[in-house]
Amino acid sequence: MAEHTQLIDAINIRTAVRAYDDEPIDDDTARQLEMALQPINLLGDLNIQLVRDQPKVFAEANASGHLTNAANYLAIVGPANDEEAKERAGFYAERMVLTATLRGLGTLWVAGSWDKAEAAKHCRVTSGQELYLGVVIGHPKNHLDYQAKSYEELCEAQRTHRATKTYEQFTATMSDEGREAAPDWFKSGVEAAMKAPSAMNRQPITFSYNPADDTAAAHIDQSAEDEHHAFNDMGIAKLHFQIGAGQGQWAWGDGGLFIHK
């Protein structure tokens, strides 16, 4: 585990983790996660909170076997009725997912596999705010074995654990010539986005490269039928793209442009 330290490494090894060890997140780890949360909340105008040891929130999913020992979560709280804030939530909460991954923790975005009303009881949601989603966080099952795995083994697990849309599907609006001529940073960005989590693995975002001004654009693919979480998933995909592409910055929104630096 010690050999990977960069965000791109976290992208290359992250998978959804649904089974956890029955071991708490200790105070030191919690403090470090909370310190990472502070600038993220400031930048994203969000109120993401770490909530520990509330297994009741996941009682049903744990009992059915869909999850094992889920008990801790990031409560993704932000401004109510604000689609752009949901995109920021996806972007910045996924940044926390990658931080947790580099610490050897497992994560799982949850929209359905939790009791959201119960989850809301253990975090602060002020008037004008809303609890959007959760991210389960904890020590992956058999975490000592997990931590003993090499970076290559973890990359291989990421590459093979689920189906993904192809590079061509992720760049569906581009021609073969356009794909061929796109710079390496664009290709690396798309490849990182292909590894991103999305609700029900719908992968609802497409990317295109415009040689006229050397920008990339991200679009919601309506045919992916991800209407409930499309903005969140776009934020997640944009973060992965940005890390894969190296330096650069996105404009928010459907059709928002990425300027590579």
Question: What residues line the site for ligand FMN (CB under 6 A)?
Answer: 15-16, 18, 108-113, 133, 161-162, 197-201, 229, 232-233, 236
Q: Which is it for strands 205-210 and 106-110: parallel, antiparallel or unpaired?
A: unpaired
Q: How far is the CB of 34 from ligand FMN (least distance, A)?
A: 22
Sign of CA dihedral 123, 127, 129, 130: positive
Closer to ligand FMN by Cβ: residue 31 or 162: 162
At closest approach, how far in Å is the CB of 139 from ligand FMN?
17
Token pair 């990182």 in the structure block, residue = 192
Residue number with CB closer to ligand FMN (254 or 260): 254
* Angle 164-200-157 from CA coordinates, rounded to 5°: 45
Closest CB to ligand FMN among residues 64, 81: 64
In degrees and rounded to multiples of 5, residue 117 shows phi and psi of -65, -40
C-alpha–C-alpha distance, residues 40 and 135, integer Å: 15
CB of 62 to ligand FMN, least distance (A): 12
CB of 161 to ligand FMN, least distance (A): 6
- Nearest Cα neighbor of 58 from 119, 120, 142 is 119
Nearer to ligand FMN, 174 or 218 (CB): 218
Residue facing ligand FMN at closest CB distance: 197
